[in-house]
Amino acid sequence: MEYAPEAIAELAQEVTQVFKAALEQRLASSLTAVTIADVEKEMRELLRQMGAQALSQFLSLGAGTPVAELPCACGGTLHYQRQREATVTSVFGRVTYERAYYAGCQCGKGRAPVDDQYGLVPGAVTAGLAALLGLGGIELSFGESRDWLSAFLLFEVSENTIRSETQALGVVQEEREAKVCQQSQDLDYLQARLREKTSLPARLYGSLDAAKVRIEPRAKEGKKPENTEAWRDMKVGCWYEAEPVPSKQRSTRQRDKFKREQAVFRAKNMRYYCDIQEADKFGQLMWGTGCAVKADLVPELVFVCDGAVWIWNLVKLHYPHAIQIVDWYHAVDRLKCVAQAAFPAASDRTSWLEPVTDDLWAGRVTSVVQACELLASRCEEARQAVTYFTNNAARMKYDQYRKAGYLIGSGTVESGCKQIVTQRLKKPGAQWEVDGAVQTAKARAAWLSGEWDAVCAQRAALPLAV
């Protein structure tokens, strides 16, 4: 919406006069100096109160002249009763308004057209406030969000309301994912995508990982919890593209990496998805979200992940033609663990580690396996490494991957695990029920994926929580 500069100037002048009068009254009754911070805070409070009044008047005038009758959703007829008062909590605080109310149908239900028009539920928060509460809830603990938001909103909202709205947005994202999963099983939908004239990236990446979340069991009414708290895997996936990092934008670490690898890439257009599910069920989400970004149709699909067996089983099942790459840094860490376990002296560790790392970098996995086999009788880590590198040899052609310009690190999904799980769900003292953890994580994933506005728009069309 655009507003005439003249009208804005006129309103601003009136606000200034009201504020100036209040400020002069304060100065006359206090010896305390007024700072610009005081001026800003008090002016914000004035504007907040004005906003609440204006919204109240807007909603009260919204219905116009009441009509005698309206059709009811059940097929019957509603009759005008009276102008009925309602209160909602908006971005300006509590707002009370009057609107035409209809009832008298045999079904016993009433209706207020203004509430229907703007998605209002008396006693609840508005859609605009719900989106702001959700932003606080996906970033901070619900208690911290309450304090943080009150500093911005200039009024308090309860911790439970923030939790409810945050998780409600997660439910919306859950429903959006359920829809794409359903579509991904529809042959007509899959074929229709082939006829769409949309550009596809030449190369798309996929990555999967998992991070632990502490789950607190809840007792059923009148019973004790069946077991103690447990750590559950929050599986996280990401679809993304990659682009070279311009030389002027490279960090010190990236400049060093460029000297070594002659290429530095960064992820873009990330789309995260997550859930606490068994691998096969999570695979359905992986396939559904992949169909939504047309991962099955891109000219080149590349998965970069760690060596977890469940991950590669899902990749082989759902995207058997994708290029599979084991994350370089996980592979190197495996060699470092072997060196640490096999050689007490630092110099011996370095002497063994440097050439075997060079072999891995050059794609000579057979040489790496042989080097680990020579230490297998000395430590368990070496025996495990033999199995690890043997099983993943086909995914460790790092010389060929670099030549083709592929990313060889899964940092994008690891970053997703940190941002979704570590930074939000694993705050000190945090304990979750499964549904709350999943819904909060999905809401945060939507924000990180650039889908927040779409989720909030869909949420605005639903009844908001009281």
DSSP letter string, 50-69: HHHHHHHHHHHHTT-SPPSE
Q: Which helix (H) or strand (E) holds 71?
A: strand 69-71
Average pLDDT on 173-202 reads: 93
How confident is the model over 4-55, as pLDDT tens digits?
A: 999 999 999 999 999 999 888 888 887 778 889 989 999 999 999 999 999 9
pLDDT at residue 465, as a whole number: 46
Q: Please check whether residue 206 is in contact with residue 301, taking contact to mean a CB–CB distance below 8 angstroms.
A: yes
- Look over the chain and give the mean of its residue pLDDT values, rounded to a whole number: 92
pLDDT at residue 2, as a whole number: 86
Whole-prediction pTM: 0.89
Structure tokens at 202: 């030449």
Sorted by sequence, the CB contacts under 8 Å of residue 241 that are 6+ apart come out as 201, 203, 204, 205, 267, 268, 269
* Residue of 409, 226, 389 whose CA lies nearest to 304: 409
Banded model confidence at residue 466, pLDDT cuts 50, 70, 90: very low
Residues listed for the chain: 466
Average pLDDT on 147-167 reads: 95
Structure tokens at 207: 């990555």
How confident is the model over 306-338, as pLDDT tens digits?
A: 989 999 999 999 999 999 999 999 999 999 999
How confident is the model over 390-441, as pLDDT tens digits?
A: 999 999 999 999 999 999 999 999 999 999 999 999 988 788 999 999 999 9
Q: What does the alpha-carbon distance between residue 425 and residue 292 come to, in Å, rounded to a whole number?
A: 27
Taking 70 as the threshold, does the pLDDT of residue 225 lie above it?
no
Q: Please check whether residue 55 is in contact with residue 110, taking contact to mean a CB–CB distance below 8 angstroms.
A: no
Break the chain into its structural domains and give their ranges.
Answer: 1-34, 330-395
Q: Which residues on neighbouring strands pair with residue 69, listed in sequence order? A: 79
